[in-house]
Amino acid sequence: MADSISPERRSRNMSAIKSKDTKPEVYLRKLLYHQGFRYSKNFSGMFGHPDIYLPKYKVAIFVHGCYWHRHSGCQYAYMPKSRVEFWQRKFDDNLHRDKLVQETLESQGIRCLIVWECTIKRMKNENSYEKKVVEIIIQFVKQSPKNCYLGNSNDLPLRYEI
Ligand SMILES: [Zn+2]
């Protein structure tokens, strides 16, 4: 006997694993949808391909992998041990492109929100953190100064990362 888990039990386990493994951008999309935000399905045609675009607020949301996009000070943004020059060039290209995308969108009046993958990981594990991040995102998107986490409420940022 390989294992004694019943088929029902196994299927439950599988779906639990599956939901935990949801891609970070899908997870965030669902979360914002539950908050009543409606996102555009045509954002893939937009420069930089944001993961989520909220047309009503002209906000583009990018879920950034900490490794590829070099999340500063993050444990996941480690430097590979070999072919360091090759990787450094690749990382520099990514950072250059991210900057270009953000500046281009901002020049079109679109605000950019970066959500790091490690933030999403923590949100999945901690309900209270998830709630707090959702509030911050709402404040940024709606530029709502109520109970502001985003510093001076008269001076809400046009670009934010969390
Ligand atoms: Zn990170």
pLDDT in tens, 116-159: 999 999 999 999 999 999 999 998 998 866 656 666 656 677 88
In a domain? residue 15: no
pLDDT in tens, 37-88: 988 765 667 899 999 999 999 999 999 999 999 999 999 999 999 999 999 9
Helices 24-34 & 127-142, crossing angle to 10 degrees?
Answer: 70
Instruction: Spell out which residues have Cβ within 5 A of ligand 1, the ion.
Output: 66, 71, 74, 116, 118
In a domain? residue 5: no
More confident residue, 67 or 14: 67
Task: Report the number of distinct structural domains present in the chain.
Answer: 1
In a domain? residue 86: yes
Spell out a b/e string for 28-66, using b for 16 or more CB atoms within 10 Å of the CB, else e: bbebbeeeebebeeebeebebebbbbbeeeebbbbbbeb
Quick one: pLDDT band at residue 1, thresholds 50, 70, 90?
very low
In the reported structure, the alpha carbon of residue 125 is separated from the centroid of ligand 1 by a whole-number distance in angstroms of: 15
- Going by the DSSP 8-state scheme, the letter that residue 3 receives in this structure is -
What CATH number is given to the structural domain containing 155?
3.40.960.10
Q: What backbone phi and psi angles, to 5 degrees, belong to 59?
A: -120, 130
In the reported structure, the alpha carbon of residue 121 is separated from the centroid of ligand 1 by a whole-number distance in angstroms of: 9
In the reported structure, the alpha carbon of residue 71 is separated from the centroid of ligand 1 by a whole-number distance in angstroms of: 5
| Residue 70 belongs to domain spanning | 22-161
Q: Give the Cα separation of 46 and 106 in Å (integer).
A: 13
In the reported structure, the alpha carbon of residue 118 is separated from the centroid of ligand 1 by a whole-number distance in angstroms of: 4
